[in-house]
Amino acid sequence: MNPMHSHGHPQGPAAIATPKLIRSITMDRCSNFTSGGANGNDVNLLSQLYKARTNSEEYISLLVHSVPDLKRIPFQEAIQQEFRPTRLGEWFGPSWSTHWFHVQLRIPNEFAGEEVHFIWNADNEAILWSMDGAPLQGLTGGAGSDARHDYLLTSRAQGGEVTQFYIEMACNGMFGAGNGLIGPPDPNRFFNLNELDLAVPNKLAWDLLYDYQIILGMAKDLHAESTRAAQALYTANKIINAFRPGDDSTLPLCLAIAADFLKAKNGDAQHEIHALGHCHIDTAWLWPFEETIRKAARSWSSQIGLMDRYPDYKFICSQAQQYEWVRDNYPALWDRIREKNAMGQFLPTGGTWIEMDTNMPNGESLCRQFLLGQRFFEEHFGKRCKVFWLPDSFGYTSQLPQLMRLAGMKYFFTQKLSWNNVNKFPLTTFWWIGLDGSKALIHMAPSETYNAQCTPEELIRTVKNHRDKEYSNTSLLVYGNGDGGGGPLSSMIERLKRMRDVDGLPRVEMSTPTDFYEKIERESPELTTWKGELYFELHRGIYTTHALCKKLNRSCEFLLRDVEMLATFAHIMDPAQFTYPKAEFDVFWKMICLIQFHDVISGSSIEMVYEDCLQMYAKVDSMGKQMREDLLERLMGLDPAATPPTSKKALSIFNTLAWSRTEVIEVPLDEDLPTMKQYSAFGRTGYTLVSNVPPLSVQGCSLEEDLKYEPVKVVTDQKNNIVMENQYIQVTFDKSGHLIGLHDKEERRELIKPDERGNVFRMYEDIPLFWDAWDVEIYHLEKGRVVEEGSVQILEQGPLRAALLVEKRISATSRLRQIVIMTAVSRRIDFETEVDWNENRQFLKVEFAWDIMADTVNYETQYGVVKRPTHYNTSWDSAKFEVVAHKFADLSEYGYGVALLNDCKYGYAAHDNIVRLSLIRSPKAPDSNCDIGHHVFKYAIYPHRGHFLQSDVVREGFNFNVPLLTRVVPRAKLDSLSTGIPRFHIEDAPNVVLDTIKKAEDSNQIIIRLYEAYGGHAKARLVSSLHIKAVHRCNILEDDIELVSSSSKSTQLDRTFSTNLRVLDDDVVELQQQAQQRQQAQGVQLSLTPFQILTLKVAF
Ligand SMILES: [Zn+2]
């Protein structure tokens, strides 16, 4: 019987009396044997999977409660409602509605002794609940590979017993309710309950099916000329010949033929695959956040069931937010998760709050993703994650290796770069070297999916695509249905078990991510490296799509920066009276971090998701601003009740940045304020100059000081161009609003070449190949037009501020209006812009051409800058035709540069001497209304002497985004405003930015986060008005790493030193005080390496 051991037959090989197998015909025959749609499917193996099956109402009775108003209600509330009878074949809807079913079953007597399954399919998602409210298993409808129709009722029925449970049906598919994969949701979809059965599986037939799938897969997907492919096809064919439908006695024979093939083992050097059960649940995407909560329950309860059935089955899942949702909404399931975690089966991974986009969140947001995530996992599961897990995010910032290290992780998993549509990423297992030189061990699953199905084809593909086989003979296979949730099916586990060690396939074992990475680290003596960002060559439109979400992300990030800092100051000043609002901050950060999910902040979700985001942002924004007001009042010792209403008024200016600032600011027109130097064009505000507002502190401004400055001027020249000029620069705008001249007066240098221009608006046709909201494709650059027409008028003529009004019709349906601002004291020109936008797949950008020669542009990233090319030399260079940046992109040559700043945009492009800022897109899927409407944003140009590396562009990026905070205060208060406000600033290192000040998570100490922003070493001093007792360097999880500085014993004020010798005692105290003052003035010495993120824990 055995084709491989036929030499054992004493009579020698038998002569076959049938024609030799023809591969193509045999292959088709073998495929039909397990295909639902094939000819003969009523008598093939699939037709034999159930021994008995009934949908009779004699055994199954069904009641339903349809929840009104698309509400999602908890179990306890649902079961109190009135239920009506319903049955197989009924329709349920509309989209997003919920229907609760009370299911009552009586198992037929003839099923006695058998395993019995309940089968349910309504082409949508559902979860099965026990009568006492424990979620038991998810059910996924439809006919796709993610279908999960079966629920195991009993492994041995008595016959006649009655069972009841509830089913909560959600009227959406695994991928929402749209048409096609990414079409906007159809609000009116209805779902048919088309399968409702009690069934007895034919276990031998199922066993044969799994065996057969592996054998057929090997026949198909191994190299056709290979021995094992030939043997597999021969074996599959032979099984068909042995099989007789309706005669179960042939099944053991078929299984024996299969076993004979599968038992052949591999050689020692075979590739080794670690298989991880996983379920990627997009935290929102084609469905709203609320549905994700239920997706997590459905997916995870199913996995718990599989863990019960397969004790060696392991499942990993990321995103602390989803765990928190399950903890809060499904306590019974939460208990089971913790139980399975203790048994080593249900394993949290990733160490972050959600699987975030890593390009657009600012540095502090990324820190909080790790802080919230790792703390959650540590609190609830007793340990932190070791593997940072981002299979699906759209590109990876060069600061991740440093940040993960600082979050206690050195291993990283993704596979998304396999979607690159220009260059194939050349590495699989390698050291990723970050911007600052930190190293992280990366493996990118060579199967190029995180939703593997456990097929021979995937194992073969894994080996084929592994690009570092010389260095490492092992891979990850991440299996289980995902994106919409689901997770592994029992069929996947069954196939895995069978493929463990089969000659011709790589060896495969169920493993954990940590075991996998530790093994690589242990056993691979050498690995290659990749330096810098992992740029994703696809989905380049996401830096621009859903502009409002991005704008609110930016403003809320800075608002939280302000409030945490001010609250920390309040805490330092009065720890007894002031309660640091940590709980509120946690809520805010969880919302900001949630929206930074990779399909949300990227703009690639459905419209409903952005309605939810808007509500969360509104909460952070309004509560945060109120807190900021209250904190300022508290810090400055203002008591509105104590001020006589008629007293003279003045202004307080609070600077939340860590350097002093001189700016022209806008001031409200309050009757009690002295006269303004200049009134605004619209007459409702005035302008004043404030000079040297100290870092992280307040300055009073009586509005009567006579500060010296050279006024800004604006004139119209003979050619009808408008020329604005201050002490530093002169700029010229043509009559349609283009910048045609920028002259640096100090350098005596013109920055715009003849016949070139800036502030040019360009509209591109923007029709990507498929992923509408995600992609802008390379060919959009070939099809753009300049918006030539426009008008300019002078709005303000100085002395402090000059302003022009530019108006443009962008198209028949969209228009733009902007105010161009130059002040007397800055080289920066601001463009405050409003657009009414109504377009279909158009992309608006603004561009500036400078007379500057540079091969690279400096783009701001988290805690640093990355360089990307200004040319299309290679396919790798041209693939970066649209890139991400934070507050600026800077084009510099020796001696001079110009930065293009923004207050809420993330997409940039550069070619030759032109830098473009991406403004607005108009994709139609999955949100058909995306970005239609009114937009408000600003950008600025900042010409500077010296190369970027010698410039203060980083500070200017902050200045542009973080306005000085002003308040009207009683004049009498001016001198005492800053009394007691703790002061911090950095000296000796203009390349070091003091970014965050917050209270430590677990103590009354203070966290100060700084970074080196330009890519050089720094010796900085942290100077404070407070006496610093000790400074520890810590990681972003706030674990102490080392003591940086502590005040020595002698500088401690200690009156207990001597109680008898009062004179001596006073002397000693005085000496001690002097020493302390010296130390305070000197500050704490800090050394930073290029692009280092330095977190300090400071005790006072
Ligand atoms: Zn995803």
Distance 370 CA to ligand 1 centre (A): 18
Task: Inform me whether the pLDDT recorded for 225 exceeds 80.
Answer: yes
Contact 596, 357 (CB under 8 A): yes
Rounded to 10°, the helix 203-221/227-242 angle is: 150
pLDDT for res 3: 47
CA separation for the pair 969, 638 (Å, rounded): 8
Per-residue CA distances from 919 to 66, 278, 613, 914, 966 (Å): 44, 38, 20, 16, 30
pLDDT for res 980: 85
Residue 436: which region, alpha, beta or left (left: phi > 0; alpha: psi -120 to 50)? alpha
CA separation for the pair 77, 63 (Å, rounded): 16
pLDDT for res 833: 98
Which residues are near ligand 1, the ion (C-beta closer than 5 Å)? 282, 392
Measured torsion, CA atoms of residues 423, 428, 429, 432, in degrees rounded to the nearest 10: 20
pLDDT for res 645: 65
Percent of the chain with pLDDT over 70: 97
User: Which pLDDT tens digit goes with each residue over 925-947?
Assistant: 999 999 999 999 999 999 999 99
Mean pLDDT of 96-101: 98
Main-chain dihedrals φ then ψ at residue 270, nearest 5 degrees: -60, 150
pLDDT for res 1016: 98
Which is more confidently placed, 646 or 416? 416
The DSSP 8-state label assigned to residue 282 in this structure reads -
Band of pLDDT at residue 909, cut at 50, 70 and 90: very high
Mean pLDDT of 987-1003: 97
pLDDT for res 643: 62
Distance 599 CA to ligand 1 centre (A): 6
Band of pLDDT at residue 979, cut at 50, 70 and 90: confident
User: Which pLDDT tens digit goes with each residue over 839-866?
Assistant: 999 999 999 999 999 999 999 999 999 9
Q: List Cβ neighbours of 285 (8 Å cut-off, separation of 6 or more).
A: 176, 483, 484, 599, 600, 604, 605, 606, 609, 926
pLDDT for res 972: 86
Task: Inform me whether the pLDDT recorded for 456 exceeds 80.
Answer: yes
pLDDT for res 573: 94
Specify the residue for token string 């013109």.
750
CA separation for the pair 235, 241 (Å, rounded): 10
SS (H, E, C) 114-181: CCEEEEEECCCEEEEECCCCCEEEEEECCCCCCCECEEEEECCCCCCCEEEEEEEEECCECCECECCC
pLDDT for res 627: 98
The three-class DSSP label of residue 767 is coil
Distance 355 CA to ligand 1 centre (A): 8
Of 607-611, 664-668, 923-927, 933-937, least confident by mean pLDDT is 664-668
- 322 burial level (CB within 10 Å; 0-12, 13-18, 19+): buried
pLDDT for res 1052: 47
Per-residue CA distances from 482 to 296, 392, 395, 519 (Å): 11, 11, 19, 26
Mean pLDDT of 44-51: 97
Q: List Cβ neighbours of 775 (8 Å cut-off, separation of 6 or more).
A: 538, 539, 540, 541, 768, 769
877 is catalytic: no
Contact 546, 919 (CB under 8 A): no
- Of 123, 197, 282, 392, the catalytic one is 392
Mean pLDDT of 419-440: 98
User: Which pLDDT tens digit goes with each residue over 531-574?
Assistant: 999 999 999 999 999 999 999 999 999 999 999 999 999 999 99
pLDDT for res 2: 47
| Residue 25, H or E segment | helix 23-32
Neighbouring-strand partners of residue 889:
859, 900
Helix, strand, coil percentages for the chain (3-state, nearest 5): 30, 30, 40
Per-residue CA distances from 1031 to 405, 408, 1027 (Å): 21, 21, 11
pLDDT for res 1051: 45
Query: Within 243-362, where are the H helices?
Result: 250-262, 289-309, 320-329, 331-342
Q: List Cβ neighbours of 213 (8 Å cut-off, separation of 6 or more).
A: 34, 455, 495
Per-residue CA distances from 693 to 97, 653, 671, 698 (Å): 56, 7, 24, 7
Main-chain dihedrals φ then ψ at residue 377, nearest 5 degrees: -65, -40
Distance 73 CA to ligand 1 centre (A): 26
Task: Inform me whether the pLDDT recorded for 1057 exceeds 70.
Answer: no
User: Which pLDDT tens digit goes with each residue over 263-283?
Assistant: 999 999 999 999 999 999 999
Percent of the chain with pLDDT over 90: 90
Band of pLDDT at residue 707, cut at 50, 70 and 90: confident
pLDDT for res 644: 66
Task: Inform me whether the pLDDT recorded for 1049 exceeds 50.
Answer: no
Write down the mean pLDDT value for the chain: 95
Mean pLDDT of 211-226: 97
Task: Inform me whether the pLDDT recorded for 1048 exceeds 90.
Answer: no
User: Which pLDDT tens digit goes with each residue over 408-417?
Assistant: 999 999 999 9
Band of pLDDT at residue 705, cut at 50, 70 and 90: confident
Cis preceding-peptide flag for 245 (omega within 30 of 0): no
